[in-house]
């Protein structure tokens, strides 16, 4: 690569780190670039580690995150210095990255509860994270800043969430005082056929709460399937509280309270 070709065909995203012009800067690409900027000395951590582990919903516009002792990183990189043991690091390709357990621990310590739970839900879904391993790290680093918040966060994680909005909805129900809902509930018909897999709810009460993204409304085939599915669920005795992005928390909780009153 000559200097001319580097200038004419690539752009610098960090000092001495270039990508071909037009490259899609995904969260994983940003993570790799930040690691190269650290001269391969840093450890990819936090949301960047989640991206390398294959988690969805990582914001590609956010700065890459590194465990690396450097007080003034360039724009687009966030660094912090923490104790990290060798059994909390793994190689993804050639890149040193925090393990799923350590990644979950860092996310829990460094983000508000709701945001952290959503991120760890996605990580757990992608990696089959063993939460006991992350909770063990909370025991290992008892003096860590925000350790109480981290413990609370880890207790709320559920790999059954299929989107950040489902995580938000589940936390809304828990914070309102409802028992923690089961996620991804399979419902079978009279002849043993799988009728639906419900987002979350309480199987003993036959009450479910379903979050419906835009595709449920804009996809005609999905819309028609939903009508048939909910008719069968009603015949089987289920009460479904359907939630969209337009719903406000008070309205959701009010409709759920009505459903519970019907059962009682």
Residue 215 pLDDT exceeds 90: no
Q: Do residues 18 and 112 share a domain?
A: yes
CATH number, position 192: 3.40.960.10
Among candidate residues 155, 186, 203, the one where a domain is terminated: 155
Q: What percent of the chain has pLDDT over 90?
A: 87
Q: Do residues 179 and 139 share a domain?
A: no
Domain count, the chain: 2
- pLDDT score of 3: 87
Rounded distance between C-alpha atoms, residue 114 and residue 124, angstroms: 15
Q: What length does the chain have?
A: 264
Task: Supply 135's token pair.
Answer: 């909770």
Ordered strands of the 207-211 beta sheet = 182-188, 194-202, 207-211, 239-243
Q: Do residues 27 and 122 share a domain?
A: yes
Residue 217 pLDDT exceeds 90: no
Residue 187 near residue 195, CB atoms below 8 Å = yes
Q: Do residues 180 and 141 share a domain?
A: no
Q: Do residues 150 and 187 share a domain?
A: no
- pLDDT score of 9: 93
Residue 90 near residue 120, CB atoms below 8 Å = no
Rounded distance between C-alpha atoms, residue 161 and residue 176, angstroms: 18
Which domain, by its residues, includes 69? 3-155
Q: Do residues 27 and 62 share a domain?
A: yes
Query: 15-39: per-residue pLDDT in tens?
Result: 999 999 999 999 999 999 999 999 9
Q: Do residues 12 and 132 share a domain?
A: yes
**Average pLDDT of the residues in 146-151:** 95
Rounded distance between C-alpha atoms, residue 166 and residue 145, angstroms: 28
Q: Do residues 141 and 19 share a domain?
A: yes
Res. 264 pLDDT band, cuts 50 70 90: confident
Q: Do residues 141 and 33 share a domain?
A: yes
Q: What percent of the chain has pLDDT over 70?
A: 97
**Phi and psi (nearest 5°) for 151?**
-65, -45
What is the rounded average pLDDT for all residues in the chain?
A: 94
Residue 218 pLDDT exceeds 90: no
Among candidate residues 124, 155, 186, the one where a domain is terminated: 155
Query: 57-115: per-residue pLDDT in tens?
Result: 999 999 999 999 999 999 999 999 999 999 999 999 999 999 999 999 999 999 999 99
| N-to-C CA span, the chain | 73
Angle at 183 between CA 170 and CA 225, to 5 degrees: 100
pTM of the model: 0.91
Q: Do residues 257 and 216 share a domain?
A: yes
Q: Do residues 59 and 147 share a domain?
A: yes
Q: Do residues 11 and 142 share a domain?
A: yes
Q: What is the DSSP string of the chain?
A: --HHHHHHHEEEEETTEEEETT----HHHHHHHHHHHTTT-SEE-HHHHHHHTT-S---TTSPEEEE---SSPPTTEEEE-----GGGEEEETTEEEE-HHHHHHHHHHHS-HHHHHHHHHHHHHHH---HHHHHHHHHHTTTSTTHHHHHHHHHT--TT--SHHHHHHHHHHHHTTPPPPEEEEEEE-TTS-EEEEEEEEETTTTEEEEE--THHHH-HHHHHHHHHHHHHHHHTT-EEEEE-TT--HHHHHHHHHHHHHHH-
């Amino acid at each position: 690569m000559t200097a001319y070709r580097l200038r004419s065909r690539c752009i610098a995203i960090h000092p001495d780190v270039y990508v071909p012009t037009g490259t899609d800067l995904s969260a994983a690409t940003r993570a790799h670039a930040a690691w190269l900027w650290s001269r391969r000395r840093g450890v990819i951590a936090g949301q960047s580690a989640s991206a390398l582990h294959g988690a969805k919903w990582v914001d590609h516009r956010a700065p890459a995150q590194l465990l690396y002792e450097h007080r003034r990183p360039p724009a687009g990189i966030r660094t912090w210095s923490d104790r990290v043991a060798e059994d909390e690091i793994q190689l993804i390709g050639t890149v040193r990255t925090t393990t799923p357990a350590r990644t979950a621990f860092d996310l829990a310590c460094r983000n508000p509860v709701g945001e952290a739970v959503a991120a760890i839900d996605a990580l757990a879904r992608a990696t089959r994270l063993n939460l006991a391993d992350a909770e063990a790290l909370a025991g290992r680093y008892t003096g860590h800043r925000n350790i109480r918040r981290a413990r609370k966060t880890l207790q709320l994680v559920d790999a059954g969430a299929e989107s950040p909005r489902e995580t938000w909805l589940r936390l809304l129900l828990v914070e309102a005082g409802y028992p923690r809902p089961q996620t991804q509930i399979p419902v079978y018909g009279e002849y043993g056929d799988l009728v639906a897999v419900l987002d979350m709810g309480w199987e003993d009460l036959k009450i479910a709460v379903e979050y419906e993204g835009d595709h449920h409304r804009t996809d005609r085939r999905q819309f028609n399937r939903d009508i048939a599915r909910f008719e069968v669920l009603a015949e089987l005795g289920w009460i479904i509280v359907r939630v969209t992005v337009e719903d406000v928390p008070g309205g959701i909780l009010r409709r759920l309270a009505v459903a519970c009153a019907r059962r009682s």
